[in-house]
Amino acid sequence: LRHAQGDARRLLNLLEMLWNAAKGPEAVLDDALVTSVLPHFLLYHDRDGDKHYRLISALIKSVRGSDPQAAVYYLARLVQGGEDPVFIARRLLILAAEDIGLANPQAMILAQANMDGVAKIGYPEARILLSQTVLYLSLSPKSNSAYLAIDKALDFIRREDSLPPVPEALRNAVTNLDRQMGFGQGYQYSHEGPHHFIPQPFMPDGLQGKVFYEPASNPREDNYRSWLQSHWPGYDLSPSTPGP
């Protein structure tokens, strides 16, 4: 109980590891087993101490840095130390959106499936799901453009003294009064245009041409950049402005 540090999930993980170490249907989880086995596991990881934060940081940085060998090594140390697999999976899901993002949107789908899976099955099999996810994310192309875009937009609106109104054409005309005020007038249904696109203003007045999303340099987002340049020439996304 002391080694579980008041964490029920941590206690279950440690008990599961002790049971696996004991082996055999007649195994007994007694003080002798705890004394002989637990120090071996705790050598690799301390859930609330420096090792906990250092190891998860090393794992995330290794995946972000596209080094699958280092990533699976730090994952193994976390697993061996009894780290909550859901905690690891949650961090990997965040990484999939923050550090891979639009370079490979499938990464977030896999990371979400991984989190659901490890929550259902636990150790020891959860290690396999975590390993697959860590390796896949490590080997995926990287982009932080989605992360940069939302933070740039948030920073912009927080600095503004006042925010412009939503254009009337984009407002939903629910009542007769809405329609009398011109809400929704001038809006063109995009699906009625060629290739489901009709060029029309969406930004509020005064913000036309303001860029928040800048495609990163990777094959998928290079295509996005080309599409944006041909369909939205008012936004400056020239190749001379490098992606993140």
CA distances from 81 to 25, 56, 129, 157, 213 (A): 24, 12, 17, 44, 40
pLDDT score for 51: 74
Alpha-carbon distance of 18 to 2, in angstroms, equals: 15
Which tokens is 110 given? 């896999």
- Whether residue 233 is preceded by a cis peptide bond, meaning omega within 30 degrees of 0, is no
- Annotated domain spans of the chain: 8-139
Tell the burial category of 23 from Cβ atoms under 10 Å away from its Cβ (0-12, 13-18, 19+): exposed
pLDDT tens for each residue of 192-229: 999 999 999 999 999 999 999 999 999 999 999 999 99
Which of 54-58, 125-129, 239-243 has the least mean pLDDT?
Answer: 239-243
Q: Match domain 8-139 to its CATH number in 3.20.20.370, 3.30.70.600, 1.20.272.10, 3.40.50.720.
A: 1.20.272.10
Closest C-alpha among 86, 115, 89, 110 to residue 100? 110
Q: Is the pTM of this model over 0.85?
A: no
pLDDT at 172: 92
Q: Residues 121, 85: contact at Cβ < 8 Å? A: no
| Tokens 């290739």 belong to residue | 195
